[in-house]
Amino acid sequence: MPYLQEERKQRPITVHLIIINVIFYLATRLNQGYMYSTFALFYPTTPWFKPWQVVSYMFMHGGFWHLFFNMYSLYIFGMAVERILGQKKYLILYFLAGLGAAAAQLGVQALDPAIQGVPTVGASGCIYGIIIAFAMIFPEARLTLIFPPVTLSAKWMAIIFIGIELITGITGTQAGVAHFAHLGGALIGWLLIWWWFKRPKKDDYNHSYVHYD
C-alpha cells in the first residue's frame, strides 16, 4: 500500500488532466444536453451562462477526434513542459492559458452578436499555451507533423501554427473553430514563459558598465 501511494504521488499532472478530459467526454456521450448546457462556455448575457463555465469548458470536447488530437498534443508537449516548470507552474500555465482563450473568445462574441448563443468547448486554448511554452523552452527541438509529414524546429512550428490561426481567424475560412481562443491561449503561454525565464533580471546587468558619480 505505501508503494502504491508513492506511485500515485509521482503521477504527472498531465496524466491527471487527460483523465479528467476523458471523463468529461464520456459523460457528454451519456447526456450531451445536460453537459453542454451546464459546462460549455456561453456568452455571459445568455440565459445558459454560469460562472464556472470559464473553467469547465476547458474539459469539454465536441467529438472523439477533437478530444484525441488535443489529448495527444497535451501528452507530447505537456509532459516535457511539466518536467521543466514543475507541477505548480504547469497548472498555472494550463489554466491561465484556458482563461486567456475564454477571454479572447468572449471578446470575439462581443463584437459579433450572431454567435453569442454558440457554446465554446475544448482544451485547445490550454494546448496552444503549452505548445508555445514548449517552443520557447526547446526552440530547436525537431518535430515531425502528422500532416503534412514535414520536420521543423519547435520555434518554426509554433510560428506557422500561430500564423495559420491568425489568417483563418481573420478570414473565417474554417467555420466552427474558435481561432482567436487558440491565439488567446498562445499569448498567455508566451507571456508566462517570458516572465518566468526570458525577462531581464536585475542580476543580468553587467555592473562593470555602470558609471558612478
Q: Which residue in the block uniquely carries the three cell numbers 510560428? A: 159
At residue 148, the pLDDT reads 73
At residue 80, the pLDDT reads 96
Which residues on neighbouring strands pair with residue 143, listed in sequence order?
Answer: 152
At residue 172, the pLDDT reads 62
At residue 202, the pLDDT reads 63
Which residues on neighbouring strands pair with residue 120, listed in sequence order?
Answer: 41
What 8-state DSSP symbol labels residue 40? S
At residue 149, the pLDDT reads 80
Amino acid in the structure at residue 48: W
At residue 166, the pLDDT reads 86
At residue 141, the pLDDT reads 92
What is the Cα–Cα distance from 154 to 50, expressed in whole angstroms?
37
Q: Which domains does the chain have, with CATH numbers?
A: 2-138+177-194 (1.20.1540.10)
Q: What is the mean pLDDT of each run of 10 residues along the chain (213 residues)?
A: 48 95 97 96 95 97 94 96 96 97 94 91 96 95 80 90 84 70 95 89 54 42
